[in-house]
Amino acid sequence: MEELILHSKYSDEKRLHELLQEMRSRGQETMMAAGHVTAVNRAFSYFSKTGKFHDTMAGIEHYRLVDELCKEYEVRKQGLIAKMIALEEKIFCKDNLFVDFTAAQEGYERLPELVDHLADKLYASEGRSSDYQPVLEKKNEGFLSSAQIQYVCRAGNYKDKGLEYTGALRALRVLLGYDYLWNQVRVKGGAYGCMCAFAKSGESYFVSYRDPNLEKTIDAYEHAAEYVRHFEADERTLTQFIIGAVSELDTPMNPAALGTYSLNGYMTNWSFEKVQKERDELLHVTTRDLQETADYIDAFMQEDYLCVVGNEGKIKGASQLFQQTENLF
């Protein structure tokens, strides 16, 4: 860690250029292979600080920066090197050091000594800077590619409408994924897949995967709340949805996964009491509870955040849906 943090040679111009070109190549490959992830992250960047951060660090905005640096490398390389050195001194400060460690007790015994050794070599703190305040803007973009398929995302935040997270949303996700979205977008629409999520932060989305349609898929999203609001299920079907949702909660974890789970809980203040509350809400979910989650779909869909990655002809044919369209790369 010390070698990486404090002794990286940013002044190696040839290697730095090679790394930028590798990043650009990997970025293109990732955006094409996982267009649904690209679409979701970009849609989140319109309204979410976290989403904007992820897009800046690893999404389309990040790719645009890397692409510009590659094309203008000879002109911008000295400025880039200077910024990287300055950032190293701001990031790797002793006051910023946070250590998360997962091991048996005997593995921990030498850790304090090693951490102290590293901390003593870190930079002195210059004081805390102001909180990250990204500029959020609704763009509703269509990104054009040579592919014959689409990745269609609608996103939003149900908490903005005053709704609070409940464990019933886990059952809703199974219902949509294996019933409504499966039938409407995959079976009838011909997409390879369709996903949804309702995060504890309120951030939610529908997204299709390798989808031959665009407007037809959006129409299916628009009618999802109505389907859920009138959904009826017998006890056996409802139990299947609950089991499907519980299986995600009870996935066996190796020590590394358990450590990551613990770290996430610590960083987000998600206590064991909250975990148990979520579990109880899921285990006792009723058909009526599921019907009421239609309000959550309405809440995030009302914000009408849309991002599509896909075929140029399809996107231009639905140009009225977008505020702007441009080539993916």
Mention every residue, 6+ apart, whose C-beta is less than 8 A from residue 152: 39, 207, 208, 211, 213, 214, 217, 218, 308, 310
Residue 219 lies in a domain: yes
Residue 135 lies in a domain: no
Confidence (pLDDT) at 127: 65
Look at residues 88, 119, 150 and tell me which one is the last residue of a structural domain.
119
> Which domain, by its residues, includes 99?
2-119
Dihedrals phi, psi of 58, to nearest 5 degrees: -150, 5
Residue 75 lies in a domain: yes
Residue 124 lies in a domain: no
- Whole-angstrom Cα distance, residue 56 to residue 75? 22
- Are 176 and 264 members of one domain? yes
Residue 275 lies in a domain: yes
CATH number for the domain that contains residue 160: 3.30.830.10
Amino acid at position 246, single letter: V
- Are 98 and 205 members of one domain? no
- Are 170 and 312 members of one domain? yes
- Are 175 and 281 members of one domain? yes
Look at residues 85, 119, 153 and tell me which one is the last residue of a structural domain.
119
Phi-psi category of residue 210: left, alpha or beta, with phi > 0 → left and psi -120 to 50 → alpha: left
The DSSP code sequence of 31-69 is HHHTHHHHHHHHHHTTT-HHHHHHHHHHSHHHHHHHHHH
- Are 161 and 214 members of one domain? yes
> pTM of the full predicted structure?
0.91
- Are 198 and 87 members of one domain? no
Residue 126 lies in a domain: no
Q: What is the DSSP letter of 115?
A: H
- Are 179 and 308 members of one domain? yes
Confidence (pLDDT) at 164: 96
| Residues facing residue 150 across a β-bridge | 211, 310
Confidence (pLDDT) at 128: 64
Residue 71 lies in a domain: yes
Please name which of 320, 19, 327, 309 lies closest in space to residue 151, comparing C-alpha atoms.
309
Number of domains in the chain: 2
- Are 99 and 154 members of one domain? no
- Are 289 and 170 members of one domain? yes
Mean pLDDT of each 10-residue bin along the chain, 329 residues long: 90 95 95 93 96 94 97 96 92 91 90 93 78 89 94 97 96 95 96 96 97 97 97 93 89 92 92 93 96 97 96 96 95
- Are 198 and 71 members of one domain? no
- Are 76 and 13 members of one domain? yes
- Whole-angstrom Cα distance, residue 174 to residue 197? 10
Six-digit token pair at 307?
A: 């991002």
- Are 156 and 285 members of one domain? yes
Confidence (pLDDT) at 150: 96
Residue 133 lies in a domain: no
The DSSP code sequence of 256-284 is HHHHHHHHHHHHHT--HHHHHHHHHHHHT
Alpha-carbon torsion (116, 117, 118, 122), positive or negative: positive
